[in-house]
Amino acid sequence: MSSARFFEHNNFAGRNFLMANPSLRYFLLTFDFLNGLNFNDILSSIQLRSGGQSTPSTCLLFEHSRFQGRIKAFAYNADRDINSLPDFNDLTSSVLMMDHDPNPNKTILALRQLGGSQLNQAIDDALQNVSEGSRNGDVLLKFTIDLFEVSLFGVDLMLIEIPIKLHTPWPFSDYDAKIRYWVKLFIDSGHRLQGFVAAWGYWIEGGILTGSIESRLRPKVEEKIGTVETHLNNMLKEVNFHQWTDVYLMPGAASVTSDYDGNVADDCSVVLPFVSK
């Protein structure tokens, strides 16, 4: 069982509290929890304690609530003290503690880095005959573990976020929108990586035409779930160069064994343990 003690000040001074991960892959400390302890935006040092060297662990600090924004990740498989957070002092609003799969054979892949151009092309192909909309930037892949709205709090999901520009007739300006599909990855009976859409949604810029645009956009977003799953699983075929035993996600361009930082919008990494032959 790994644990972490969080301190108000540098060098393990001031108020503190202890949290133990009861051997769960993800143990979440929400903004509401930290705020209830009057610990939002004041964390300054950490003592990390390992549950055993065979189980590598990571403590991830998030700048914002709901595990969003900038991230600072500390890896450990032995006791470790972090006496200060020079570039993350007094910034933490949510925390994720992870105990990794103890299997030493793992592949860690940043998915947008791996297949982002394929996703962009797939969206362009889908929109090429649609005069009222076009892609408006790169398709983003994001780590999500707080989708409380659809009872998926604590479930690791990959958000596919598609920025689009919706074209409207003169004299109205074009509208920005984002189409969102949350994907759950799993290992099938053949030990291959697959994915399905667990939730979907959208955001539309506010304006006089927002309601009219929503009435047309909503059924199209739902209608394309099957197409998104097809394109996604075609992309994931490139990942199936081993027979995998498990799959789980980390935010950003992640590492299991090293510290890293970044932003949840930078990428979404998939961790794939496998049986060595």
pLDDT in tens, 212-226: 999 999 999 999 999
pTM above 0.85, yes or no: yes
Report, as an integer, the average pLDDT of 160-176.
91
The CATH 2.60.20.10 portion of the chain extends over 3-100
What confidence category does residue 129 fall into, taking pLDDT thresholds of 50, 70 and 90?
A: confident
- Mean pLDDT check: name the lowest of 37-41, 107-111, 119-123, 138-142: 119-123
pLDDT of residue 122: 86
Give me the long-range contacts of 206-209 (CB less than 8 A, separation at least 24).
207/172, 207/173, 207/175, 208/172, 209/168, 209/172, 209/175
Tens digits of per-residue pLDDT, 195-207?
999 999 999 999 9
14 vs 132, more confident = 14
Tell me the β-bridge partners of 63: none
Tens digits of per-residue pLDDT, 266-276?
999 999 999 87
Tens digits of per-residue pLDDT, 83-100?
999 999 999 999 999 999
Question: With 80 as the cut, is the pLDDT of residue 53 above it?
Answer: no
pLDDT of residue 125: 86
| 180 contacts 158 by C-beta, under 8 angstroms | no
* Topology (CATH level 3) of domain 3-100: Gamma-B Crystallin; domain 1 (2.60.20)
Compute the C-alpha angle 178/179/181, nearest 5°.
Answer: 135
Measured in whole angstroms, the distance separating CA 75 from the mean position of its chain's CA atoms is 17
Averaged pLDDT score across all residues of the chain: 93
Distances (CA, A) of 14 to 11, 40, 135, 188: 9, 14, 50, 49
Measured in whole angstroms, the distance separating CA 82 from the mean position of its chain's CA atoms is 24
E strand map for the chain: 3-9, 13-20, 26-29, 45-49, 57-64, 68-76, 80-82, 94-99, 106-110, 133-135, 140-147, 152-166, 175-187, 193-204, 248-251, 260-263, 268-273
Q: Would you state the structure tokens that stand for residue 140, as one six-digit string?
A: 């983003």
